[in-house]
Amino acid sequence: MEFTVREMTPADYEAVAEIYGQGVESGTATFQTFVPSYEEWDGAHHKFCRYVAECGGLVVGWTALTVGLIRKPYEGVAELSIYVREGYKRHGVGMALIEKVIENAEKYGVWMLESRICRQNIGSIRLHEKCGFRTVGVRERIAQDKFGQWQDTVEMELRL
């Protein structure tokens, strides 16, 4: 599969939202129950290291960073969000997106990436491991999924 990774633009948000919606519906990618508006999404994510993967003009995956920890000493910690369109998983899209973030995050003062992954999302956990992340813990019954079931998250990090 041929795809390219490029910087995300506001015009990409319709596709980003569609892919995020697939994650919401899966029940294993996020505990959110709705897709935010562009304004909400934009305000919640850093303005840097926003990337999309595109295949034949179709956005097939995206990644962005949010503030990992809010206190000043931790401002170099960023939480990684990554989503890949159904039908395009396990084709290198996720790895290419994460590698692009790893390549560029330090330029913006990020020294550690962290991810909180639904424990049952084995594919995402394996992807993060392949990209050098390590598991630092499991938070049990941390949040309820869209079905009202308590779920665990696997906490992973990568020091840059």
- Please name each of the domains of the chain with its CATH number: 4-115 (3.40.630.30)
Specify burial of residue 51 (Cβ count, 10 A radius: 0-12, 13-18, 19+).
buried
Tell which residue, 10, 24, 5, 13, has the closest CA to residue 95. 5
For the whole model, what pTM was predicted? 0.93
CB atoms within 10 A of CB 53: 26
Tens-level pLDDT at each residue, the chain (160 residues) = 899 999 999 999 999 999 999 998 888 888 888 899 999 999 999 999 999 999 999 999 999 999 877 777 778 999 999 999 999 999 999 999 999 999 999 999 999 999 999 999 999 999 999 999 999 999 999 988 888 889 999 999 999 9
Burial 109-132 (b: 16+ CB within 10 A, else e): ebebbbbbbbeebeebbebbeebe
